Amino acid sequence: MAPALGILGGTFDPIHYGHLELAREAMAAAGLAGVRLIPAGDPPHRGAPVASAIQRLAMAELAVADYRGLAVDPREINRAGRSYTVPTLEELRAEDPLRPLALIVGADAFLDLPTWHRWRELFDLAHVIVVARPGTAFDGTLSPELAAEWDRRCRAAPDALAAAPAGAIVQVAITPRPIAATTIRAALFRGDTAAVRGLLPPAVLAYIERNRLYRPGQDAT
């Protein structure tokens, strides 16, 4: 079976090197065919983004230009309603029923998985790659229902992702990068452009400056 296609969702408000390097490292560590970054149109787990959906999509497209294997998928922005992950995976699965899919989530997001819409169906549609700092463990922190899925599905080797279209959980370690979109927005709100240089691609910063995003008058939180 072919290598899995990685799926990384997020608000990307704005997209930064933390997102991009996470996708790149997960792709390399898990042997993925590529990673699709999917900006949420109407994210269900947080407040309304500061930048518009079209602006966040444009920034994501600029950001991946220099990253081989990364691409942007606009389907959640083009689809009306809340940007739930299960309908997105259903669409991708319908396009190619046999291709392995791998949903990439951070360790914190994985812990919250039982709060997601139709979360148990995720495993019928895709594998789950949990990205964490080296040495991170979930001993004693998983809810009973998530622990049951972990014990049933966790695989030690990423090779499991190419063996079936969906259903496995694989953990990969990535390089810690303490970059947060909230910190970037707060610095831009203060007019401190110098503080964010090196945290996001120059083309994205130029787009932000050109469109006067994250300035006073917009919510920087």
pLDDT tens sequence across 56-102: 999 999 999 999 999 999 999 999 999 999 999 999 999 999 999 99
47 has pLDDT over 60:
yes
The per-residue pLDDT for 221 is: 52
One-letter identity of residue 102: A
Q: What angle do CA 51, 44, 42 make, to 5 degrees?
A: 40
Q: Between residues 219 and 84, which one has the greater pLDDT?
A: 84
Burial code of 151-171, b = ≥16 C-beta within 10 A, e = fewer?
Answer: eebeeeebebbbeebbbbbbb
Token pair 């083009």 is found at 78
Give the side-chain half-sphere CA count within 13 A for 49.
Answer: 23
User: Is the predicted pLDDT of residue 220 greater than 60, yes or no?
Assistant: no
Whether 176 has a pLDDT exceeding 70, the answer reads yes
pLDDT on residue 135: 58
